Amino acid sequence: MEQARLLSTTTILTALIWVSADSLVNESVSVFVTFDLTSAAGAQDMIMDVTAPGGVYELEVSGPRRVVEAVQQQAPLKIRLRVQDRPTIGPDQIRLDRAWLKQELSEQFTDFKKLTVVSIRPDSIPVIVDRWVTVGADLVLGRLSLAYEVEPQLKRSTVAVRLRKSDLDQLPEGRPLQLDISGDVERLLKEQSVGESVTIPVTIDARKFGSDAQLTPNVVEVTATIKAQRRTVEISTVPILVAVSFANLEKPYAAVSPEGEPLTLITRTISVTGPTEAVDRLERGLTRAYGTIHLKEADLESLNDVKLLTPDIHLPPEIQLVGSVDPVHLRLVDKSAPSNPP
């Protein structure tokens, strides 16, 4: 029994000694890491463009074997680096100091508190440093191509532009910043109703000031009244129909010329006006115009008399008749009579 206790105690002590010894053994390993650069507090206006994005760095660390093995299992690591403000604008190198890396790593990965940063290869990150600046810009309407009853009016005339300092330096020095939005305004106004006041929101494109420039606000309201574009044309050979009232449809009446010739086709030339597109459709035959002569009961009671009747002209929507229509001379005859008087 005593021997068993001694054997058990010996086994436990051996294990403790092995664990203690193992924890005292330091190892050095290399793990691959990438960096995500962010601006530290107080440097929010700084921009850092990595010239070789996605670069992989070899980080050598040392420490207890078990901790090193745990870190190796997490590799590759993505490390966030908070960079202090850089006074320069242009190419620069972010030096990867070991103490700085140790601090950042310990905050993001608990295991690194027990490790030592031995080296980093390469030891710097090449960047282009820039800075955000905010300036004002005037909104202007340049050459307008549409016809207006009331020209476009902007609800605001200025916006704030947030752009890179390097982009600002490329703009003409000493001139106020201007942004001509007439193209965007007229593109949207073309889709609106004509002849009435409309207010539309126009989204402003900031790319004139750089690919990542931002505007505040980026939408402006514009009010305008577009003048209706109209045409006046002559339409020839408009057919004229002679119509008898429904109650008299079965009566054998016929319309003839004053000379007694059958009126098989009556046409007139008319002048019309309207929106350009509507008039174009009428000219191309996509819509049609026609006239009607409505015979009244009194007309049917006075047969054989020459009548001077003005047709009613029927036109497509939005199109109006210009001037008057020449009347039609005709006589009504009873087709059932054995002969018609001259």
3, pLDDT greater than 70? no
- In which order are the strands placed within the sheet that holds 290-295? 312-314, 290-295, 230-244, 266-275, 320-322
pLDDT per residue as tens digits for the range 225-236: 998 788 899 999
Topology match between the domains 137-226 and 230-334: yes
Give the count of beta carbons closer than 10 Å to the beta carbon of residue 164. Answer: 20
Torsion over CA of 293, 297, 303 and 308, rounded to 10 degrees? Answer: -40
Beta bridge partners of 94: 125
21, pLDDT greater than 50? no
The structural domains of the chain, with segments of one domain joined by +, span 2-122, 137-226, 230-334
Q: Is the Cα dihedral 241, 244, 246, 249 positive or negative?
A: negative
Tokens of 60: 């050598």
Task: Return the pLDDT at 264.
Answer: 78
CATH 2.170.120 fits 137-226, yes or no: yes
**Average pLDDT of span 12-22:** 49
Q: Is the Cα dihedral 15, 19, 25, 29 positive or negative?
A: positive
- What is the DSSP-derived secondary structure letter of residue 299? H
Q: How many residues does the chain have?
A: 342
pTM over 0.75: no
Q: 230-334: which CATH architecture?
A: Beta Complex (2.170)
Angle (deg, nearest 10), helices 2-24 and 65-74: 60
Secondary structure of 204-242 as H, E, C letters: CCCHHHCCCCEEECCEEEEEEEECCCEEEEEEEEEEEEE
Would strands 230-244 and 290-295 be described as parallel, antiparallel, or unpaired? parallel
Out of 57-61, 130-134, 196-200, 302-306, which region has the weakest mean confidence (pLDDT)? 302-306
- Choose between 242 and 210: higher pLDDT: 210
Give the count of beta carbons closer than 10 Å to the beta carbon of residue 59. Answer: 24
pLDDT per residue as tens digits for the range 87-98: 889 999 999 999
Angle at CA of residue 268, ends 266 and 271, nearest 5°: 160
For residues 197 and 152, give the distance between their C-alpha atoms in angstroms, rounded to a whole number.
Answer: 10
Average pLDDT score over the chain? 87
CB of 268 closer than 8 Å to CB of 291: yes
